[in-house]
Amino acid sequence: MLPSELLRVKIYNNEYIRPLFADINDENIFLADSMIKIYEENVGKKLKDLEEELKELERFAEEYGYDFKFFRGLKALLDRRLSFEENFYSVDIIRIRAEIFETTNRLFGGFILSEEEKKKVISEVSKKLNLKEDQLEEIFKSIYEEEKKIKAFEKINGEELLKLYNLSLLQTLLFRCKKLFLDVKASGHDIKRLLWNIKKLGLLYIAEKSFNGIIFTIDGPASVIKQIERYGTRMAKIIPLILPFSYWKIFAYISSKLRSKKSKAKTYKFILNNESERLFPSFKKVEVTYDSELEEEFAKRFVTVTGEWKLIREPEPLISGKTIFIPDFLIVKGDVKVYLEIMGFWTEDYLKRKIEKIKQLRDINLILAIDSSLGDIKIDDPNIIIIKYDKKISSFDIIKALRKFENINKN
Amino acid sequence: MLEIKYSGGTIIIKGDLVNLGFPNFVYYDSRIDCYRCFASKFFELEKFLKNNNIKYDAKVFDLPQGYFEVIKHVSLRDYQYEAIDAWDKEKRGIVVVPTGAGKTYIALAIMAYLKVPTLIVVPTIELMEQWYSRIKEHFRTKIGLFGGGSKEIEYVTIITYDSAYINAELIGNKFLFIIFDEVHHLPSEGYRQIALLSAAPYRLGLTATPEREDGLHELYPELVGDIVYRKTVTELTGKYLAPFEILRYYVSLNEEEKEKYEKYRSIFKKFFEDNNIQIKSLEDFYQMILKSGKDKKAREALLAWNEARKIALNASAKIEVLKEILQEHRGERIIIFTEHNKLAREISAKFFIPEITYRTPEKERILTMERFRKGIYNALVTSKVLEEGIDVPEANVAIILSGSGSRREFMQRLGRILRPKFNKKAILYEIVTKGTSEVNISYRRRIKEEYFD
């Protein structure tokens, strides 16, 4: 994400807004690489040396026709990759400065007004702290940020930098998002992660089936009362999660005050889909992990005994009312599809909500495996079979239930 | 029976409301099939329900556990009592008194009788530290600091506007009393959410300068309450505030600066003329900045304007005049204000005067403030950071270099020396550059203005 003054956008037809993404072409890569080179060469030097060189390159880039905001956007991202020598803000520098100020006050009542007075202060302090006089003045100045010494620069190449810039630009645009629509297709696991993040960020969603997958409409608790500029930064944080999905489309309402600071904000539309994928960083697929040992153990055992039944972990989500239900497994044989949900632990509230969700599912075969120590559940629905288990889920019980569904299907 | 609970800065109402003729601040939320309103409306909602004999079960507050005991009584002046009486009628509203007139004591006195979990919202870390030591002095309670790295919620919590904005949902149901120090910050687009997403019924705003240039002060009634008490500088001067005098110095640019200034001036002037632009207000200026994002010529003009301004603000002659002034006040308590960090630093290095800017490391800033308060340091140079409400009670000389002349800024800077503890008349110096866009008055004239007699 970038400071909002570095956002670059274009308005189309007074209706659509779009960030000015950087093309991943040779020219842009050349600029990015030149900047990176300067960062790399200045490791071990002072921050002010780096700034000096960058200023020159910026002037050059601008003459060449680059937008200074583009340059500074790249710079902002590169600055974050710097680390500095640690002892910079050490107590010592502060103590030495304090000694200088204190001596100045004691000898001259608050300040020095001549070279002579300065000499007296310096010589007294240097004697007291056992430091050389010229060293003392150097230390006095070393408190300033630009005197910081660069310790390291986290590597990146030009192409990666441009992609990172585009992602940051997109996120910066979304700071001012009032309502976000995500049309996506992804595995149950990926959707689960997305929803978990939406919830963690204090946002709300409703889910609806779409032609390609599911549309999530995302905004915040207070959005229904008034469109407040509050949830944009959080929506921006969601974006990296959907970029690896096999299909994604972003539709957003962006409030923007482009004309002048005082004028009223206008709402623009923003649309982007996975055809623009190449502009953005590619994220590594996250290894799918099991929610519990129970599930893992069951899955491993089950595949050895199932024959034609195929077990799929965290399949594509199901829509239940306005929310999402992601069963743990989908078991398939030919046309027959049966979902399996394992309930190993719950609170009463959780259970209530889950059953509420399950009841809203239509035309779906579901096996609900529940821990027998957790009491009784009754659901009156021919498409749902409840089996109880004790510590381990019996593959035999599951297969029995699967056969029942198979027979229903045949009839 | 309606079920009412707090959720993410809002109030959720579950139950059948269709026939109740609900007030207009309650909205139906189809996402969860419930009703919702801003947390700030909770007490209005309760009033409505009680008046209409509607049964409800509310689980809204999650207050921090703790104790609260007054260990040192807050002694008040007449007008401070008046302010508290005025506020107490609704237990909401804004108190406007000049800087230095003891705003904090008004708030402490109210805290002392409410004795409820309290949140104090302040604009800067300095103010946070200042409130902390005041509260510690008067009350025995748990104090939490929230902002600048720490994240504590205690019975009395002091938080910065920035942290309160970011964490509005988290803090919204943890306090019954909320104090907005320097409340003129509150109405801005982001910060106002702190008030809207909080369920605290008791609200107090404090400021010397409630009016905002953008007119957003009209939001106060909804966010904090009306202005319930107001005293001006003139009403309090003499009896409670030290009178002070303003001396203004005008300096010229030297030859080199003049040449540079003219060079830049001709660039932006040409652009203004070619494009028929007049910079008369801040609004015009924003227009210009917006334009400069796309138009290369506009950007050049803006850069030139900026450079010219820098030259005017940082004219070397100012340092010379500063030196003269310092000479007259050796050993007195002096604060120097500059517009830019660069000038503050230059002054610090030249005169060995400790500086405080937003770039000063926290450790040094705390040490410097402490030592200045204790009198180990007599002088201090600062760029904008100290602008607001900071207690620097012992200063009697303020020197403003390159002041931008905005009303609020000016008042607040004056506030530094408006401290009644001094028998001595306080002096405010202002050093401005003549013949630049800043001013246009003839050669180094010294104008003396007696402000308050």
What is the 3-class SS of A203-267, one letter each residue? Answer: CEEEEEECCCCEEEEEECHHHHCCCCCCCHHHHHHHHHHHCCCCEEEEEEEEEECCCCCCCCCEE
Q: Could you tell me if B261 and B174 lie in one domain?
A: no
Q: What is the pLDDT of residue B397?
A: 85
Could B293 and A229 be called an inter-chain contact, meaning their C-beta atoms sit closer than 8 Å? Answer: no
Tell me which H or E stretch contains A303: helix A293-305
Quick: pLDDT tens for B76-96.
988 999 999 999 999 999 999
Q: Give the nearest chain B residue to A138 (CA atoms).
A: B349
Q: What is the pLDDT of residue B243?
A: 65
Could A258 and B353 be called an inter-chain contact, meaning their C-beta atoms sit closer than 8 Å? Answer: no
pLDDT band for position B446 (cuts 50, 70, 90): very low
Q: What is the pLDDT of residue B271?
A: 80
Highest mean pLDDT among B98-107, B283-292, B343-352, B425-434: B343-352
Instruction: Spell out a b/e string for A270-303, using b for 16 or more CB atoms within 10 Å of the CB, else e.
Output: bebebeeeebbbeeeeeeeeeeeebbeebeeebe
Q: Give the nearest chain A residue to B333 (CA atoms).
A: A110
Q: Which residues pair with A10 in a beta bridge?
A: A18
Q: Would you give the end-to-end CA distance of chain B in angstroms?
A: 65
Q: Out of A258-262, B254-258, B332-336, B433-437, which region has the weakest mean confidence (pLDDT)?
A: A258-262
CA B347 to chain centre: 25
Q: Chain B window 349-368: which residues touch A at a Cβ cutoff of 8 Å?
A: 349, 351-354, 359-361, 363-364, 367-368
Q: Could you tell me if B297 and B429 lie in one domain?
A: no
- A209: tokens are 């089936």
Q: What is the pLDDT of residue B17?
A: 75
Q: Could you tell me if B341 and B266 lie in one domain?
A: no
Average pLDDT over residues B190-197: 96
3-state secondary structure of A31: helix
Task: Please check whether residue B246 is in contact with residue B449, taking contact to mean a CB–CB distance below 8 angstroms.
Answer: yes
- B241: tokens are 């505030």
Task: Please check whether residue B66 is in contact with residue B177, taking contact to mean a CB–CB distance below 8 angstroms.
Answer: no
pLDDT band for position A90 (cuts 50, 70, 90): low
Question: Is the per-residue pLDDT at B407 higher than 50?
Answer: no
Could A113 and B326 be called an inter-chain contact, meaning their C-beta atoms sit closer than 8 Å? Answer: yes
In whole angstroms, give the CA distance from residue B363 to residue A97: 12
Which of B137, B72, B131 shows the shortest CA–CA distance to B104?
B131
Quick: pLDDT tens for A254-306.
988 755 555 677 899 999 999 999 999 987 666 666 767 778 888 888 877 77
CB-closest option in B27, B287, B290 to A225: B27
Average pLDDT over residues B87-114: 91
Which of B90, B64, B259 shows the shortest CA–CA distance to B143?
B64
- The answer to whether B128 faces chain A, any CB pair under 8 Å, is no
pLDDT band for position B448 (cuts 50, 70, 90): very low
Q: What is the pLDDT of residue B185?
A: 92
Question: Is the per-residue pLDDT at A133 higher than 80?
Answer: yes
Greater confidence (B192 vs B406) lies with B192
Quick: pLDDT tens for B354-399.
998 877 887 888 888 888 888 899 999 987 655 555 555 567 888 8
Q: Could you tell me if B170 and B281 lie in one domain?
A: no
Could B8 and A221 be called an inter-chain contact, meaning their C-beta atoms sit closer than 8 Å? Answer: yes
Question: Is the per-residue pLDDT at B439 higher than 50?
Answer: no
Select the residue from A225, A262, A322 to test the B interface by mutation, using most B Cβ atoms within 10 A: A225
Residues 6+ apart with CB under 8 A from B279: B272, B285, B288, B305
Q: What is the pLDDT of residue A83?
A: 93
Looking at beta carbons, which residues of chain B come within 8 Å of A145?
A: 359
Task: Please check whether residue B433 is in contact with residue B252, taking contact to mean a CB–CB distance below 8 angstroms.
Answer: yes
Average pLDDT of the residues of chain B: 82
Average pLDDT over residues A213-241: 93
Looking at beta carbons, which residues of chain A come within 8 Å of B365?
A: none
In whole angstroms, give the CA distance from residue B61 to residue B169: 12
Question: Is the per-residue pLDDT at B283 higher than 90?
Answer: no
Min CA distance, B112 vs chain A (Å)? 34
In whole angstroms, give the CA distance from residue A148 to residue A48: 8
Quick: pLDDT tens for B25-54.
999 998 888 999 999 999 999 999 999 888
Q: Could you tell me if B333 and B439 lie in one domain?
A: yes
> End of a domain among B197, B231, B265?
B231
User: Domains in chain B: how many in total?
Assistant: 4
Highest mean pLDDT among A64-68, A91-95, A284-288, B404-408: A64-68
In whole angstroms, give the CA distance from residue A94 to residue A99: 9
Q: Could you tell me if B344 and B407 lie in one domain?
A: yes
Question: Is the per-residue pLDDT at B284 higher than 90?
Answer: no
Q: What is the pLDDT of residue B238?
A: 63
Is B417 inside any structural domain? yes
CB-closest option in B283, B351, B359 to A111: B351
Looking at beta carbons, which residues of chain A come within 8 Å of B27?
A: 224-225
A→B contacts (Cβ < 8 Å), by residue, are 8, 68-69, 89, 91, 94, 97-98, 100-102, 104-105, 108-113, 118, 121, 140-141, 143-145, 202, 204, 206, 220-222, 224-226, 228-230, 258-262, 322
Q: Could you tell me if B53 and B39 lie in one domain?
A: yes
pLDDT band for position B292 (cuts 50, 70, 90): low
Is B109 inside any structural domain? yes
Q: What is the DSSP letter of A149?
A: B
Q: What is the pLDDT of residue B404?
A: 45
Highest mean pLDDT among A243-252, A357-366, B289-298, B434-443: A243-252
CB-closest option in B9, B214, B327 to A113: B327
In whole angstroms, give the CA distance from residue A138 to residue A92: 13
Could B377 and A108 be called an inter-chain contact, meaning their C-beta atoms sit closer than 8 Å? Answer: no
Which of B98, B79, B80, B93 shows the shortest CA–CA distance to B389?
B98
CB-closest option in A89, A145, A221 to B363: A89
Is B236 inside any structural domain? no
Phi, psi for B126 (deg, rounded to 5): -60, -45
pLDDT band for position B425 (cuts 50, 70, 90): low
Looking at beta carbons, which residues of chain B come within 8 Å of A3?
A: none
In whole angstroms, give the CA distance from residue B194 to residue A376: 46
Could B371 and A144 be called an inter-chain contact, meaning their C-beta atoms sit closer than 8 Å? Answer: no
> End of a domain among B31, B59, B87?
B59
Residue with tokens 């007259």: B328
Q: Could you tell me if B223 and B327 lie in one domain?
A: no
Q: What is the pLDDT of residue A273?
A: 95
Q: What is the DSSP letter of A4?
A: G
Could B37 and A322 be called an inter-chain contact, meaning their C-beta atoms sit closer than 8 Å? Answer: no
Q: Could you tell me if B445 and B379 lie in one domain?
A: yes
> End of a domain among B286, B313, B340?
B313
Question: Is the per-residue pLDDT at A393 higher than 50?
Answer: yes
Looking at beta carbons, which residues of chain B come within 8 Å of A229?
A: 189-190
Looking at beta carbons, which residues of chain A come within 8 Å of B196?
A: 222, 228
Could B169 and A260 be called an inter-chain contact, meaning their C-beta atoms sit closer than 8 Å? Answer: no
Highest mean pLDDT among A106-115, A296-305, A369-378: A106-115
Is B239 inside any structural domain? no
CB-closest option in B214, B299, B331 to A262: B214
Q: What is the DSSP letter of B169?
A: H
Q: Could you tell me if B72 and B194 lie in one domain?
A: yes
Task: Please check whether residue A54 is in contact with residue A38, taking contact to mean a CB–CB distance below 8 angstroms.
Answer: yes
Q: Which residues pair with A323 in a beta bridge?
A: A320
% of chain B beyond a pLDDT of 70: 81
Helix A26-41, helix A68-79: angle, nearest 10: 40
Is B32 inside any structural domain? yes
Q: What is the pLDDT of residue B438?
A: 40
In whole angstroms, give the CA distance from residue B450 to residue B448: 7
Is B95 inside any structural domain? yes
In whole angstroms, give the CA distance from residue B434 to residue B301: 22
Is B222 inside any structural domain? yes
Quick: pLDDT tens for A322-358.
888 888 889 988 888 899 988 877 677 777 777 778 8
Select the residue from A84, A101, A217 to test the B interface by mutation, using most B Cβ atoms within 10 A: A101
Q: What is the pLDDT of residue B413?
A: 52
Could B361 and A143 be called an inter-chain contact, meaning their C-beta atoms sit closer than 8 Å? Answer: yes
Phi, psi for B68 (deg, rounded to 5): -150, 120
pTM, whole model, 2 decimals? Answer: 0.77
Q: Could you tell me if B327 and B388 lie in one domain?
A: yes
Q: Could you tell me if B225 and B272 lie in one domain?
A: no
Query: Where in the sequence is the domain holding B280, given as residue range(s)?
Result: 255-313
Q: What is the pLDDT of residue A89?
A: 47
Question: Is the per-residue pLDDT at B445 higher than 50?
Answer: no
In whole angstroms, give the CA distance from residue B378 to residue B375: 6
Q: Which residues pair with A250 in a beta bridge?
A: A182, A272
Q: What is the pLDDT of residue B402?
A: 62
Across the A:B interface, residue pairs with CB atoms under 8 Å apart total 118
Task: Please check whether residue A39 is in contact with residue A81, taking contact to mean a CB–CB distance below 8 angstroms.
Answer: yes
Handedness of CA B156, B159, B161, B166 (dihedral sign): negative
CA A76 to chain centre: 18
Select the residue from B5, B28, B31, B194 to test the A interface by mutation, using most A Cβ atoms within 10 A: B31
Q: What is the pLDDT of residue A287?
A: 64
